[in-house]
Amino acid sequence: MARGLQRTLQRAAAREAGSAPAKAGLKAVTTGGNGRFRTVVTLTAMEIAVTSALKYGSQKLFDFAPGKIRMLGGTASLAFAVTTTRASTIIASAAMDWALGTAAASNVTLATTMVDVIAKQDKTLDGAAAAYTTAQAADVAAAATHDGTATAKDAYLNIGFPTGTDVLGNGTIAVNGTITLLWENWGDNA
């Protein structure tokens, strides 16, 4: 009986808070209620495509319900791997930046709303072949309010390769790890 109650509470929290899009390697569990939530995003070989023309990429991790979203805190620990041939796509020891933001990456220089949940982190892709890098931990940026009253906010994992010579051809990055967000929805006055 307790298991059924727990599942019912999780579904109720998801309806009130928002949800993760259906995507291979992505699972999000939200708990809480009455406007206060804890969302744990688990990534298991979730892929992000990187084109040689753009040298950045994104994956949407969560769709927040409409309202003013206040990030209170949280952490992330992520490891990355290149799953395409390194010599012709994303080279060994490539310099990569990653962040969590309310907007998808639109430039190799991750900034503004591309980094407004977890600030930009510098990472060297040290894994050989398709091996994962050493996990890198980061904290949520300073507490901030994101106005999702007119248009609901989303959370995106963004990556960029600021050294243009590190991406020789279209490639794929896989991500393993966990992101925990503590947040509030202050409501939608619309």
* Residue boundaries of the structural domains of the chain: 2-185
The SS3 of residue 28 is strand
How does 135-146 read in b/e, with b if 16+ C-beta sit within 10 Å? ebebebbeeeeb
Share of the chain above pLDDT 90, in %: 78
Least confident of 4-8, 35-39, 152-156: 4-8
Output the pTM of the full model.
0.91
- Categorize the per-residue pLDDT at 144 as very low, low, confident or very high, splitting at 50, 70 and 90: confident
- Residue 186 to residue 36: CA distance in whole angstroms: 9
Q: What is the pLDDT of residues 49-78, one digit of tens each?
A: 999 999 999 999 999 999 999 999 999 999
pLDDT digits (tens, 9 = 90+) for 82-129: 999 988 999 989 999 999 999 999 999 999 999 999 999 999 998 667
| pLDDT at site 35 | 93
Distance CA 158, CA 108 (A): 10
Kindly indicate the confidence band of residue 142, based on its pLDDT and cuts at 50, 70 and 90: confident
Nearest to 122 by CA among 112, 108, 136, 101: 136
Return the pLDDT at 9: 66
**Rounded Cα distance, 95 and 115, in Å:** 17
Which has the higher per-residue pLDDT, 15 or 157?
157
